[in-house]
Every structure is written in structure tokens, then in C-alpha cells.
Amino acid sequence: MSTQIRRLLVDALKPRETPIIELSQTICSVEGVEECDVTVTEVDAKTETVKLTIRGPDINYEQVTKVLEDNGMAIRGVDEVSVTKTKVPPRPPPK
């Protein structure tokens, strides 16, 4: 059996100059991601605190974190996660 991440709610800090539209499109390009919602929750002089809601059938968390880091973001925490268990199909008996 294996598991798949279906939904993530990430609390992150991003530079103000990083547009949330481009950021959400970049996150959606990650393997297994189908949707990304970005909500700005706090604004400072140089940074913004954002909540990222990421949905998909099998989200690659390592690729998501790499995209965020490549865009100058710092993950403050994962506030929610939804994971499902998938069954591996049985192997046919040897002939």
C-alpha cells in the first residue's frame, strides 16, 4: 500500500515583489497538483504572509517545497494535510 497527498494548507512567508498569480501558476505546474489557492493574510514592508491551499490527486510535496524556496519563500508550517491510502493492485501469480 502507498499513500497520496490530496490537499495541503501551507503557511508561508513570501517577498512582496513575488506576484501571487505567477506563484500560483508555478505551483500548479508541479506534478500531482491541480489547484492552488493563495490568500494573503498579512502584509509587512518587505514580506507577505500567505496561506496556500494546494489540491491534487497525488501532490509531490518535495517539488512544492522546491518551487516555494526557488521563489524566495519560507515555509512557516503545514497547517493541514489530507492523505489517502491507495491499494496496489495484486500481482498475477507466476506462470
Quick check: pTM over 0.75?
yes
Residue 91 placed within a domain: no
Domain housing 45: 2-84
Above 90 in pLDDT, residue 90?
no
Cα gap 12→18, rounded to integer Å: 13
pLDDT tens per residue across span 12-43: 999 999 999 999 999 999 999 999 999 999 99
DSSP assigned state of 44: -
Q: Write the CB contacts of 14 (distance below 8 Å, at least 6 apart in sequence).
A: 23, 47, 48, 50, 71, 72, 73
Q: Considering the domain boundaries, does residue 92 fall inside one?
A: no
Name the grid cell of 52.
496556500
Would 14 be classed as within a structural domain? yes
